[in-house]
Structure 1
Amino acid sequence: MTDLAGQILILTGPPGSGKTTTAQALASEPGAPAVHLHADDFWHFIKNGAIAPYLAEAHHQNMVVIDVLVSAVQAYARGGYFVILDGIVGPWFLAPFRALALPVHYVVLRPLLAAAIERCRLRGGDTLSDPEPITALHRQFSDLGALERHVIATEGQDRAAMLAAVREAVAGGRFRLAS
């Protein structure tokens, strides 16, 4: 893979799209030193007063978490790491990432809704499995306007194919965000 030291990849999409699986595999590949930041962890760090991030009343909390994420990705990238941030980072959160004086790639994985719901259901544990917010989040990623060119449809792709598609998108630079 191309040397991506000092660059940032935001790997996003609705729940159940394969973000974490793809990010873990990408971060483990040979090449530049890499950091995988799982955005969900940053929301889970809030122990008292946490609000489900998909609720409207979580706006202030979400902006604080995004600010922390921006600081973390920036520090790692400036330290010479390829930073892979995986999480639900919709276009509504991109402004502070665009302001960074670093290359930022934005890749949206888009599964079919039924596949996303089923994958979330099968994960178990303390993860989102309620079809209602999964459907709402899927809808928010279904028409990205000018950012539609940042989408990789995952239907019919296995893990290896998705990883290859993301690798190619980042290496080619065609998914870079404009400042």
Structure 2
Amino acid sequence: MIDLSGQLLILTGTPGAGKTTTARSLVESCGQPAVHLHADDFWHFIRNGSVPPYLPEAHRQNEVVMNALCAAAESYADGGYFVVIDGIIGPWFLPAFNAARHPLHYIVLRPDLDEAIRRCQLRGGETLTDPMPISALHSQFSQLDRLDSHRIDTAGLGRQEILEAVRRALTSGEFRLNP
């Protein structure tokens, strides 16, 4: 794989898309210093006064969370690490990353809806399993407009195939957001 030191990757998509699995595999196998930041953790750091991020009144909270996530990612990239950020970071959250000082790649993993719902329901634990919000997020990630070329359709792909598709996307440079 190419040298991605000091670069950022936002690996996103619907719940059940394989973001975390792919991010972990990518970081563990990239052969260079790398960091995996799980975006959900940044919301869970708020211990008192947290607002569910999908509610309109969470707008300011979500800005703070995204700014903190971006600042952490930039700090690691300053140290020469390849930083993989995984989470539900739709285009609506990208303004926090507009001023990123490091090369920023944006990849949207997109399984078919039934596959995403099935994966979420099989996970268990404190994960999203309700088909309604999964469907709503799937719909939002289907409307990427200018970022549609940043989508990798993963329907029917296994873990290794998704990982290889992400590696190819990074190598191509076509998924970069900033020059």
TM-score range, shorter chain: over 0.9
Q: 1:93 matched to which residue of 2?
A: 93
The 2-side partners of 1:57 and 1:20 are apart by 27
Letter of the 1:148 counterpart: D
Q: Is 2:66 the partner of 1:71?
A: no
Q: 1:31 matched to which residue of 2?
A: 31
Contact kept, 8 Å, 2:63 with 2:96, in 1: the verdict is: no
Identity of aligned residues (%): 61
Q: CA deviation at 1:98?
A: 2.3
Q: 2:43 matched to which residue of 1?
A: 43
The 1-side partners of 2:60 and 2:30 are apart by 38
Per-residue CA deviation, residues 90-119 of structure 1 (Å, 9 max, x unaligned), is 101112212112100000000111111111
SS at match of 1:94: helix
Q: CA deviation at 1:171?
A: 1.5
Q: 2:55 matched to which residue of 1?
A: 55
Letter of the 2:5 counterpart: A
Question: Can you give the 5+ residue segments of structure 2 that lack an aligned partner in the other structure?
Answer: none
Q: CA deviation at 1:75?
A: 0.2
SS at match of 2:29: coil
The 1-side partners of 2:93 and 2:136 are apart by 17
Q: 2:149 matched to which residue of 1?
A: 149
Per-residue CA deviation, residues 39-82 of structure 1 (Å, 9 max, x unaligned), is 00111111112122122221111111001001000000010000
Letter of the 1:61 counterpart: Q
Within-5 A mapping of 1:120-159: 120-159=120-159
Q: 1:103 matched to which residue of 2?
A: 103
The 2-side partners of 1:137 and 1:91 are apart by 12
- With over 3 angstroms needed to count, the CA separation of the structure-2 counterparts of 1:30 and 1:149, relative to structure 1, is closer
SS at match of 1:21: helix
Q: 2:22 matched to which residue of 1?
A: 22
TM-score w.r.t. structure 1 length? 0.97
The 1-side partners of 2:161 and 2:148 are apart by 20
Letter of the 2:173 counterpart: G
Q: 2:178 matched to which residue of 1?
A: 178
Q: What is the CA RMSD across the aligned residues, in angstroms?
A: 1.0
The 2-side partners of 1:86 and 1:110 are apart by 14
Letter of the 1:127 counterpart: T
The 2-side partners of 1:68 and 1:151 are apart by 25
The 1-side partners of 2:162 and 2:127 are apart by 22
Letter of the 1:174 counterpart: E
TM-score w.r.t. structure 2 length? 0.97
